[in-house]
Amino acid sequence: MRLGLDDRVSIVTGSTAGIGLETARLLAAEGARVVVTGRDEERVERARADVGAVLGVAADLSRPEAPAELVERAAAELGPVEVLVNNVGIAYQRSFEELEEADWEELWQLNVMSYVRAIRAVLPSMREARYGAIVNVSSTAGKRPSGGMPDYSVTKAAVLSLSRLVADLYADDGIRCNAVTPGPTASPAWLAPGGLADQGAKRSGKTREEILAGVAKGRPLGRLAEPEEIAAVVAFLCSDRASYVTGAAWSADGGTVPVII
């Protein structure tokens, strides 16, 4: 099944690993002209070559000016951006009491404001073309807050609200905006040294393996997601096959959140 993404200029933020990398891979395989981006220039170049993206841009999207610079670079080299996947983000395990103002600000700037700024940057050309697909990667924590990741949970809830807002405001311009809410995923965010599995082990006194087993057991499907399973949902929502889908928050969480929304 072709998804109708041939030659679509598509930006995927946070696309050097995990869900973002697999999303970029799927979009490129469908014929999209993909722009990959991340903070580290060497990792960006490896990702670009790995997935067959046409452009790689190193950028720290927590900087206020960076999202617009990214969109401008893509447009200058490839043409107006038609698909935007906001995936970049960070998460830490820490208690509400531990969090300081700087912690909240760090996550807010990257997990929320980079999405806002990237969307603002693509809107003029999307409105002019009367076409655009925006997908924002949220989390199950946006639907059901995690007490172990309070700041992350709040930012991901904001992403859900942002997604619905943009969908409502710009549907008449031919722009669709949806969110995806993954559950725990077997990506570097969880599995890399110092990642969430290691953080959980350090805080609980359990082993890394015990933490991962417990997380898997907490899903009705009994395991973590694979990055490509989340990427498949994102790619569908970017595509013409989802042409009547907007304002949705698609759960891709193995049944984790037991509500129908």
Q: How far is CA 155 from CA 18, 231, 249, in A?
A: 19, 21, 15
Q: Judge whether residue 146 has pLDDT over 80.
A: yes
The strand ranges marked E within 31-182 are 33-38, 55-58, 83-86, 132-137, 175-182
Q: How far is CA 156 from CA 163, 214, 227, in A?
A: 11, 23, 18
So what CATH class is 9-183+226-252?
alpha beta
> How much helix, strand and coil, in percent to the nearest 5, is found in the chain?
50, 15, 35
pLDDT of residue 259: 74
**Residue range 23-44: mean pLDDT, rounded:** 97
Supply the Cα-derived Rg of the chain in whole angstroms.
17
Go through 134-173 and write b for each residue having 16 or more CB atoms within 10 A of its CB, e for each that does not: bbbbbbbbbbebeebbbbbbbbbbbbbebbbebbeebeee
Residues with catalytic roles: 152
Q: Judge whether residue 153 has pLDDT over 70.
A: yes
Residue 258 — very low, low, confident or very high, per pLDDT cuts 50/70/90?
confident
**Residue range 196-222: mean pLDDT, rounded:** 92
Q: Judge whether residue 257 has pLDDT over 90.
A: no
3-class secondary-structure state, position 74: helix
Q: Judge whether residue 205 has pLDDT over 70.
A: yes
**Residue range 239-257: mean pLDDT, rounded:** 94
In tens, the pLDDT along 167-186 reads 999 999 999 999 999 999 99
> Per DSSP, what are the bridge partners of residue 34?
10
In tens, the pLDDT along 78-100 reads 999 999 999 999 999 999 999 99
Q: Which residue bears the tokens 């509500």? A: 259
Residue 260 — very low, low, confident or very high, per pLDDT cuts 50/70/90?
low
Residue 1 — very low, low, confident or very high, per pLDDT cuts 50/70/90?
low
The chain-wide mean pLDDT, for the chain, equals 95
CB atoms near residue 97 (< 10 Å):
6
Whats the size of the chain, residue-wise?
261
Closest CA to 14 of 237, 188, 240: 188
pLDDT of residue 111: 98
In tens, the pLDDT along 107-118 reads 999 999 999 999
Q: Provide the residue type at 21 as one letter.
A: L
Q: Judge whether residue 119 has pLDDT over 80.
A: yes
- Distance between CA atoms of residues 53 and 47, nearest Å: 8
Q: Judge whether residue 139 has pLDDT over 90.
A: yes
Question: Domain-by-domain residue ranges, the chain?
Answer: 9-183+226-252, 187-224
pTM for this one?
0.95
